[in-house]
């Protein structure tokens, strides 16, 4: 029996080595391990064997061995087929881009989101407001009475129904103060309008972001802190700020906030006209009349407000030289602010 | 406004201090300095000299050969082309080695003759714009005297933007500015030298009749005659010139000088023509010639100074041509008045004439200044022309006084406002240095506001905080975070929704965000054959084409698409912004936030583009609100929308937008070979949708059965929602999923294939079990007009 199984093993080994397909291996398996296969024949012969027990053991050992050899062969063929597929596979080139179109955000959206994220992280709520407001919202409630010279500074678009296009995001202050009351931390980005001729530096339609914080002990010292922190985050570096007196009827004291020039770092260069400082945003302590118009107890609460020129910020951040690009709809310009 | 440090130094001793640094501190404490100009630095070596002889140049008509005596005992040759040279004339002479306005003066040969040094005009010295001839020097000045020792050629002049002084009427003259420098530097402000007006009290008054009491705060007048001096002294002229004015004649210069010194506009009438005045308005319009020779249309709103009811000046703006100071004027009627600022501003705006005087009146001047300015002007006039005679008493019509302002402010209020501690002594010294009166009671400062700050500027406690802090210095502030308690931040759904929509449009659908204007562009609409919808109107639009506010975003987006045809064959743009849908019932503009999306393609067909737009809407609703909208075919209300393919976007039974493709007429104008699809969504309606709760159901452990069924139906009439609703009605509990598997348009008509998935949580379903349900669905569909295909 031993000789027979040796002979079969040899034959099986040769046949499997020659087999190249799953089907060939399957045929070999049937011819050895099938119902009428070689192993079945040996089992039939077992009846005549002298030492049935040892002969049976030999056949079983061979059967186990044959099964292993066949499955190894099947595995070898499967691997060879995968190898062949991999070898013959088409080589992709990720550099080839047939469809190169990406969407893009408006630069104002990008800058606004950045500033919003910073203020949200400091507990400010983000508010939206109308673009069309009345005289009360835009001027009266902000301590700018009729005939006040401050109205001269802003050439306002007036509408035939008596309303106007808001000249500054401060026009939302009263409504938002009334909506939430004190204490309050809010920013409100928005589109503003001034009736002036457009050129590379002037637009009649532009974005600002107003921020207010009202609580029991808000101080000038806090205002400087928040402005410095926010601007350092926006420009991703430590920004030096300084306050200068600035006159805006809705704040008292009012300031112009300067930052150290981003181009020369404060040494003085053409961008900052040699002063080392860039005028960035008006701010101040909210005028008690404005708080009172918003229904706030001015003996109990104080607050600060600032107005950041988002359009100007976007110009600085991205190096946009012509402000008209923002509202041009020109995709050669705007598509550069891709999704990232 | 230009300000002279020499002038300021008349009133505050700044010796030993770095003036440039002081000016920079002025920026930090008071108002921004735009520019600092050092005057006279590029001029030196200019002395008083005498022209001893003048010879004609043999070959030049213009040039003269001069012998100059510069006090050193030798005669110097000088070739000079000035027309006013004459023998014996004393001139400004730049010696060899000197410098004139940056130009080095040396020895040169001019037209064949040697010339050493140069005789100078005032313009060459940079002290006026007069270059008509040589500057003539008073003979009393010793020859060889450096002119910088007698004339204030050296000065530091700085410029402050007028706009940054709008709230500070007291800073429109050098004396007020000097008070700031005194406060900033800690030095004291000198009292102003002026004539004692009471000594003229016995003289008769000027006839002044303030008929219009509404627009006049105060009107003061005085008469002076026997004036013989005609020109102002050099130093006065230099100051006027350095500060942006021009010397005219002594009387005009004096009124300008006092205005630039104190901020109080003054007017001098020629007393031969105007010796009494009334102040009034006229009912009927009339023409008035101002002293610049221009005829101006005046009306009933303009306050006039008249003499026997003949207008002689526009109050607070400009005098009249007929009564102006002439070269032979020897007597004057001096006006020093305070008019209503708003009225002056309205008049000056209306007639388009903004003067140094009107600019100051607009700021609400302190009426107390009228008297000070008169007394100051008289002092100057009488010292320059000792022969002049005052002919009237100081005539004062003080119609309206500003109330005195007293403010009590607690130390704790100041500390709370500043967030730092400023000592009591510092608070008091700062306020006093600015002219405020201060008394301390307990912890309260009782502050009286000086008249020059009391017209509108300082009225409340916060105003005092500003005074204290700006002089204290913001650079000296400690920078501290607030200690406000933490509170949850409320997020506005409108904000977050819009932000998410932008991410979907840009990230998933590769659209470009654009911004445009709130108004329609009638010209651009016309180019695309779109008739602009009349709407709420901008009264003062820059062009009539921009007068209507936009009702919809789509026309703007279409114009952008048209302008970007060269950008790509296939692109889409969107804007999230505001539109106005007419007026609300209360008359206010019905402003809505909208999203507009427009897709353009030369690559894919209109139907594909339409479905792309539909997919975008579905994505927006599904991602943000977890629902899908319905699309209901409707009439096109806009003339650019396709009449056959316009759909309302409906959610929760509310119409909140439209989806459409372009009207072929507009498309042909925009681009014949392209397809355009667009939609507009009302973001306020969208934000009002509460996001549908997500309900989780555990997936069945048993396999489901998919049943496909095909029905005949014209594609345009298929309502997926009706099919789904019917299937849900009739499909029993085990119907878990409904979807459109296929829509096919074949030779024998259109078909729709639905795929129904049945699944049970308890067992594997058999086909026979679900047969009753599929039969019921088929029956329902038949009722809706869908017949089953084999």
3-state secondary structure of B123: helix
Residue B189, SS3 per DSSP: strand
Q: Residue B340, exposed/middle/buried by CB under 10 A (0-12, 13-18, 19+)?
A: buried
- Tally of CA atoms within 13 A in the half-sphere of B102 that contains its CB: 4
Q: Best mutation site among A331, A333, A336, A337 for testing chain B: the one with the most B CBs within 10 Å?
A: A331
pLDDT for the residue B716 = 83
Mapped onto helix, strand or coil, the DSSP state of residue A253 is strand
User: Is there a domain that residue A95 lies in?
Assistant: no
Residues of B in contact with A125 (CB under 8 A): 489-492
List CB contacts (< 8 A) between B506 and chain A: 103-105, 339
Cβ atoms of A269 and A240 within 8 Å: the answer is no
**Cβ A290 vs Cβ A250: under 8 Å:** yes
pLDDT in tens, A257-268: 999 888 888 888
Alpha helices for B53-146 (secondary structure H): 122-125
CB-nearest partner of B538 from A131, A157, A255: A157
Q: A221 and B478 in contact by Cβ < 8 A?
A: yes
Note whether B675 and B733 are within 8 A (CB). no
**H or E stretch including A333?**
helix A331-334
Instruction: Record the tokens describing residue B41, joined without a space.
Output: 């630095």
Question: How long, in residues, is chain A?
Answer: 340
B192-195 contacts at long range (C-beta below 8 A, 24 or more positions apart): B192/B11, B192/B262, B192/B372, B192/B376, B193/B376, B193/B379, B194/B372, B194/B375, B194/B376, B194/B378, B194/B379, B195/B375, B195/B376, B195/B378, B195/B379, B195/B382
What are the φ/ψ torsions at residue A80 (nearest 5 degrees)?
-60, -40
For residues A77 and A140, membership in a common domain is answered with: no
Is A96 inside any structural domain?
Answer: no
Lookup: tokens for B528: 């695309």
Tokens at B20, concatenated = 């440039």
Domain with A311 in it: what CATH number? 3.30.930.10
Same structural domain, A171 and A37: no
Contact at CB, A330 and B538, closer than 8 angstroms: no
> What percent of chain A lies above the pLDDT cut of 70?
96
Shortest Cα distance, chain B CAs vs residue A49, angstroms: 53
Beta strands B207-210 and B276-280 are: parallel
Span of A12-16, A261-265, B254-258, B729-733 with lowest mean pLDDT: A261-265
**Interface predicted TM-score (ipTM) of this complex, two decimals:** 0.86
Bridge partners of A242, per DSSP, are A258
Task: List Cβ<8 Å contacts ≥24 apart for B785-790.
Answer: B785/B713, B785/B717, B786/B711, B786/B712, B786/B713, B786/B723, B786/B752, B787/B711, B787/B712, B788/B709, B788/B710, B788/B711, B788/B712, B789/B710, B789/B711, B789/B712, B789/B751
Contact partners, residue B436, CB within 8 Å, separation at least 6: B447, B448, B449, B450, B453, B464, B467
- What span, in angstroms and rounded, lies between the C-alpha atoms of B373 and B337? 10
Residues A198 and A319 in one domain: yes
A2-18 helix and A22-33 helix, angle to the nearest 10 degrees: 170
Cβ neighbors of B294 (< 8 A, separation 6 or more) are: none
| Chain CA centroid to CA A128, Å | 21
pLDDT tens figures, B25-41: 999 999 999 999 999 99
Residue of B721, B637, B624 lying closest to B680 (CA atoms): B637
CA distance A95 to chain B (A): 19
Residues ≥6 apart with Cβ < 8 Å to B532: B520, B522, B525, B526, B548, B555
Answer whether residue A50 shows pLDDT above 70: yes
Of A88, A121, A138, the residue that ends a domain is A88
CB contact under 8 A, A104 and B513: yes
Least CB-CB distance to B362: which of A149, A225, A243? A149
Q: Quote the CA–CA distance of A145 and A139 in Å, as a whole number.
A: 7
Average pLDDT over residues B422-440: 96
Beta strands in B449-544 (DSSP E): 512-513
Compute φ and ψ for B468, nearest 5 degrees. Answer: -65, -45
Indicate if A79 and A198 belong to the same structural domain. no
Pick from A46-55, A136-145, B123-132: least confident:
A46-55
CA triplet B295, B257, B243: central angle to 5 degrees?
90
Shared-domain flag, residues A135 and A58? no
Determine the Cα–Cα distance for residues B714 and B719; give it in Å rounded to an integer.
Answer: 10
- Rounded to 10 degrees, what is the CA torsion of B313, B314, B316, B319? -40
Bridge partners of B512, per DSSP, are A104, B573
Give the integer Cα–Cα distance in Å for B129 and B507: 64
Name the minimum distance, in Å, from the CA of B591 to any CA of chain A.
7
Contact B512 A256 (CB under 8 A): no
A220 contact residues in B (CB cutoff 8 A): 417-420, 469, 474, 477
Task: Using CB atoms, pick whichever of B489, B494, B589 lies closest to residue A161.
Answer: B589
**Does A127 fall in a domain?**
yes
CA nearest to A283, candidates A313, A262, A308: A308
Beta partners for residue B599, in sequence order: B572, B677
Which of A58, A88, A118 is the C-terminal boundary of a domain? A88
Per-residue confidence band for A150, with pLDDT thresholds at 50, 70 and 90: low
Provide the mean pLDDT of chain A: 90
Size of interface A-B (CB pairs under 8 A): 235
* Burial label, B49 (beta-carbon count in 10 A; 0-12, 13-18, 19+): buried
CB B20 within 8 A of CB B156: yes
The rounded distance, in Å, linking the Cα atoms of B42 and B30 is 30
Whole-number Cα distances in Å, A278 to A201, A241, A269, B94, B476: 16, 9, 11, 42, 20
SS3 category, B401: coil
Going by C-alpha positions, the residue among B115, B104, B43 that lies closest to residue B76 is B115
Please check the confidence at residue A153 and state whether its pLDDT lies above 60: no
Residues of B in contact with A303 (CB under 8 A): none
Burial of B41 (0-12, 13-18, 19+ CB in 10 A): middle
- Are residue A60 and residue A180 in the same domain, yes or no? no
B36 CA: distance to closest CA in chain A (Å): 11
Q: Check CB contact under 8 Å for B481 and A113.
A: no
Cα angle: B620, vertex B622, B624; to 5 degrees:
60
Interface of A with B in 160-179 (CB under 8 A): 160-163, 165
Distances (CA, A) of B272 to B118, B332, B730: 44, 8, 109
Question: How far is B197 from A244, CA to CA, in rounded Å?
Answer: 41
pLDDT above 70: residue A340: no
Determine if the peptide bond prior to A253 is cis (ω within 30°). Answer: yes
- Smallest CA–CA separation between B468 and chain A, in Å? 10
Q: Which residue of A has its CA nearest to B515?
A: A327
A100 within some domain: no
Six token digits for residue B650: 């409906």
Give me the domain span that covers residue A176: 107-334
Of B163, B513, B556, the CB nearest to A109: B513
What number of CA atoms fall less than 13 Å from residue A326's CA on the CB side?
29
Q: Inspect the interface and report whether the beta carbons of A105 and B502 lie closer than 8 Å.
A: yes
Q: Do A252 and B475 touch (CB under 8 A)?
A: no
| Mean pLDDT, residues A127-153 | 86
pLDDT at A45: 83
CA separation for the pair B160, B168 (Å, rounded): 12
For residues B527 and B669, give the distance between their C-alpha atoms in angstroms, rounded to a whole number: 8
Residue A31: strand pairing partners:
none
The structure tokens 């106007």 sit at A164
Tell whether A14 and A127 lie within a shared domain. no
Task: Identify whether A99 is part of a domain.
Answer: no
- Name the E strands within B477-521: 512-513
In a domain, A18, yes or no: yes
- The pLDDT value recorded for residue B469 is 96
**What pLDDT is stored for residue B575 in this prediction?**
98
Specify the pairing of strand B630-633 against strand B641-651: antiparallel
Tokens 């100071």 sit at which residue? B325
Using a CB–CB cutoff of 8 Å, tell me whether A157 touches chain B.
yes
Chain B hits for A224, CB-CB cut-off 8 Å, are 474, 477, 479
d(CA B731, CA B754): 13
| Residue range A7-24: mean pLDDT, rounded | 91
Q: Is residue A98 part of a domain?
A: no
Q: Same domain, yes or no, for A83 and A111? A: no
Question: Is the pLDDT at B2 greater than 80, yes or no?
Answer: yes
Q: How far apart are the first and last CA of chain A?
A: 75
- State whether A201 and A245 are in the same domain: yes
Of the candidates B656, B648, B649, B647, which has an alpha carbon nearest to the alpha carbon of residue B688? B656
- Name every chain A residue with its beta carbon within 8 A of the beta carbon of B469: 220, 253
The shortest CB-CB distance from A103 to any of B507, B517, B567 is to B507
What is the β-pairing status of strands B570-583 and B512-513?
parallel
Number of Cβ atoms within 10 Å of the Cβ of B484: 17
A-chain residues within 8 Å CB-CB of B556?
329
Domain count of chain A? 2
Backbone angles phi, psi at A14, to 5 degrees: -65, -45
Residue A93 falls inside a structural domain: no
Q: Find chain A residues with C-beta within 8 A of B492's C-beta.
A: 125-128
For residue A106, what are its two tokens?
């408006």
Backbone angles phi, psi at B405, to 5 degrees: -115, 130
The answer on A146 and A58 residing in a single domain is no
Give B139's contacts (C-beta < 8 A, 6+ positions apart).
Answer: B90
- Most B CBs within 10 Å: which of A103, A125, A152, as the mutation test of the B interface? A103
Q: Exposed (0-12), middle (13-18) or buried (19+): which is B94, by Cβ within 10 Å?
A: buried
B464-507 residue pLDDT tens:
999 999 999 999 999 988 888 888 887 788 889 999 999 999 99
- pLDDT tier at A154 (50, 70, 90 boundaries)? low
- Mean pLDDT score of chain B: 94
Q: How far is B160 from chain A (nearest CA, A)?
A: 13
* Residues forming beta bridges with residue B662, ordered by sequence position: B641
Measured between CB atoms, which of B416, B461, B542 is closest to A219? B416
Instruction: Kindly state whether residues A148 and A7 are assigned to the same domain.
Output: no
Instruction: Give per-residue pLDDT as tens, B162-197.
Output: 988 988 999 999 999 999 999 999 999 999 999 999
Instruction: Assess contact for B333 and B277: CB atoms under 8 A.
Output: yes
Q: Domains in chain B and their CATH numbers?
A: 2-40+156-185 (3.30.56), 44-153 (2.40.50.140), 197-398 (3.50.40.10), 407-476 (3.30.56.10), 493-688 (3.30.930.10), 705-789 (3.30.70.380)
- Identify the residue whose tokens are 């669905």: B777
Q: Which residues of B touch A213 (CB under 8 A)?
A: 482, 484
Measured in angstroms, the CA of B537 and the nearest CA of chain A are apart by: 5
Pair (A124, A75) in one structural domain: no
Helices B424-433/B411-418 angle, 10° precision: 90
């Amino acid at each position: 029996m031993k000789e027979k199984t040796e002979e079969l093993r040899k034959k099986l080994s040769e046949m499997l080595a020659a087999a190249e397909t799953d089907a060939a291996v399957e045929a070999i398996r049937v011819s050895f391990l099938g119902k009428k296969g070689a192993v079945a024949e040996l089992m039939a012969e077992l009846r005549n064997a002298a030492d049935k027990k040892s002969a049976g053991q030999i056949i079983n050992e061979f059967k186990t061995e044959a099964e292993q050899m066949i499955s190894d062969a099947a595995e070898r063929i499967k691997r060879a087929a995968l190898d062949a597929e991999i070898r013959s596979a088409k080589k992709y080139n990720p550099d080839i881009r047939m469809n190169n179109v990406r969407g893009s955000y408006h630069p104002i959206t990008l800058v606004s989101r950045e500033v919003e994220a910073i203020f949200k992280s400091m507990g400010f709520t983000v508010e939206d407001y109308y673009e069309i407001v009345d005289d009360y919202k835009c001027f009266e409630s902000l301590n700018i009475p009729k005939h006040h010279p401050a109205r001269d500074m802003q050439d306002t678009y007036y509408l035939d129904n008596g309303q106007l296009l808001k000249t500054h995001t401060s026009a939302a202050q009263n409504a938002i103060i009334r909506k939430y009351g004190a204490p309050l931390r809010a920013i409100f980005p928005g589109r503003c309008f001034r009736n002036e001729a457009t050129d590379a530096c002037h637009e009649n339609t532009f974005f600002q972001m107003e921020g207010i914080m009202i609580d029991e002990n808000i101080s000038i010292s806090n205002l400087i802190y928040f402005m410095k922190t926010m601007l350092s985050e926006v420009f991703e570096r430590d920004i030096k700020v300084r306050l200068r007196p600035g006159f805006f009827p809705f704040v008292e004291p009012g300031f112009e906030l300067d930052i150290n020039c981003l181009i020369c770092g404060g040494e003085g260069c053409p961008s900052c006209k040699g002063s080392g400082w860039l005028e960035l945003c008006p701010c101040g302590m909210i005028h008690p009349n404005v708080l009172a118009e918003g229904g706030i107890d001015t003996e109990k609460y104080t607050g600060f407000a600032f107005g950041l020129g988002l359009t100007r910020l976007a110009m600085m951040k991205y190096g946009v030289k012509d402000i008209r690009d923002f509202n041009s709809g020109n995709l050669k310009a705007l598509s550069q602010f891709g999704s990232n | 406004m230009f300000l002279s440090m020499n002038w300021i130094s008349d009133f505050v001793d700044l010796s030993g201090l770095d003036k440039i640094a002081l000016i920079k501190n002025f920026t930090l404490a008071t108002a921004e300095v735009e520019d600092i100009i050092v005057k006279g630095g590029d001029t030196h070596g200019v002395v008083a000299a005498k022209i001893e002889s003048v010879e004609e140049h043999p070959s030049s008509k213009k040039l003269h050969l001069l012998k100059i005596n510069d006090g050193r005992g030798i005669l110097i040759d000088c070739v000079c082309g000035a027309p006013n040279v004459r023998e014996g004339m004393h001139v400004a002479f730049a010696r060899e080695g000197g410098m004139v306005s940056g130009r080095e003066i040396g020895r040169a040969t001019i037209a064949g003759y040697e010339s050493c040094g140069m005789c100078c005009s005032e313009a060459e010295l940079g002290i006026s714009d007069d270059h008509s001839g040589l500057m003539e020097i008073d003979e009393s000045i010793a020859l060889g005297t450096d002119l910088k020792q007698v004339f204030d050629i050296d000065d530091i002049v700085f410029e402050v933007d007028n706009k940054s002084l709008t709230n500070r009427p007291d800073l429109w003259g050098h004396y007020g500015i000097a008070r700031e420098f005194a406060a900033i530097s800690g030095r004291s402000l000198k009292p102003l030298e002026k004539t004692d007006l009471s000594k003229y009290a016995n003289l008769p008054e000027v006839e002044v009749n303030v008929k219009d009491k509404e627009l006049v705060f105060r009107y003061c007048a005085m008469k002076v005659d026997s004036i013989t001096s005609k020109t102002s002294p050099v130093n006065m002229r230099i100051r006027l010139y350095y500060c942006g004015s021009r010397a005219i004649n002594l009387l005009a210069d004096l009124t300008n000088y006092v205005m630039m010194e104190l901020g109080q506009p003054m007017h001098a009438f020629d007393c031969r023509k105007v010796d009494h005045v009334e102040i009034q308005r006229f009912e009927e319009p009339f023409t008035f010639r101002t002293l610049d020779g221009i005829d101006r249309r005046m009306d009933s709103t303009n306050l006039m100074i008249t003499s026997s009811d003949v207008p002689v000046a526009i109050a607070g703006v400009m005098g009249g041509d007929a009564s102006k100071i002439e070269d032979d004027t020897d007597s004057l009627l001096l006006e020093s008045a305070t008019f209503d600022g708003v009225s002056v501003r309205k008049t000056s705006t209306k007639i388009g004439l903004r003067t140094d005087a009107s600019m100051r009146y607009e700021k609400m001047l302190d009426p107390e200044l009228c008297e000070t300015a008169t007394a100051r002007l008289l002092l100057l006039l009488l010292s320059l022309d000792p022969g002049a005679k005052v002919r009237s008493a100081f005539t004062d019509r003080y119609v309206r006084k500003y109330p005195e302002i007293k403010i009590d402010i607690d130390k704790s209020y100041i500390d709370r406002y500043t967030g730092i501690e400023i000592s009591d002594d510092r608070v008091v010294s700062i306020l006093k240095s600015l002219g405020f009166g201060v008394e301390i009671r307990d912890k309260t400062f009782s502050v009286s506001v000086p008249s020059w700050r009391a017209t509108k500027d300082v009225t409340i406690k916060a105003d005092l905080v500003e005074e204290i802090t700006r002089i204290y210095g913001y650079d000296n502030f400690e920078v501290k975070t607030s200690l406000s308690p933490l509170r949850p931040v409320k997020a506005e759904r409108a904000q977050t929704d819009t932000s998410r929509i932008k991410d979907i449009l840009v990230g998933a659908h590769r659209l470009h965000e654009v911004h445009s204007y709130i108004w329609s562009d009638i010209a651009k609409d016309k180019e695309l054959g779109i008739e602009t919808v009349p709407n709420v109107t901008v009264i003062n639009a820059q062009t009539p084409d921009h007068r209507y506010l936009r009702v919809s975003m789509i026309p703007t987006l279409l114009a952008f698409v048209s302008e970007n045809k060269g950008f790509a064959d296939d692109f889409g743009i969107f804007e999230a912004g505001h539109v106005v849908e007419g007026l609300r019932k209360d008359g206010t503009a019905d402003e809505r936030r909208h999203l507009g999306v427009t897709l353009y393609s030369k690559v894919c067909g209109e139907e594909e583009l339409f479905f792309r737009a539909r997919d975008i809407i579905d994505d927006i609703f599904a991602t943000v609100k977890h629902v899908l909208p319905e699309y209901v075919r409707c009439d096109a209300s806009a003339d650019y929308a396709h009449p056959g393919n316009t759909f309302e976007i409906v959610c929760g039974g509310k119409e909140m937008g439209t989806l459409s493709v372009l009207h072929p007429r507009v498309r042909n104008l925009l681009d014949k070979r392209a397809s355009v699809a667009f939609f507009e969504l009302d973001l306020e309606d969208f934000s009002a949708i509460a996001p549908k709760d997500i309900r989780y159901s555990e997936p069945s452990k048993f396999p489901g059965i998919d049943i496909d069924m095909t029905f005949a139906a014209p594609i345009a009439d298929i309502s997926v929602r009706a099919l789904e609703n019917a299937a849900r009605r009739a499909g029993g509990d085990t119907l878990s999923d409904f979807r459109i598997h296929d829509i096919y348009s074949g030779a024998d008509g259109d078909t729709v294939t639905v795929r129904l998935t049945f699944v049970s949580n308890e067992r594997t379903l058999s086909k026979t079990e679900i047969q009753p349900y599929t039969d019921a669905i088929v029956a329902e569909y038949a009722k809706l007009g869908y017949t089953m295909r084999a």
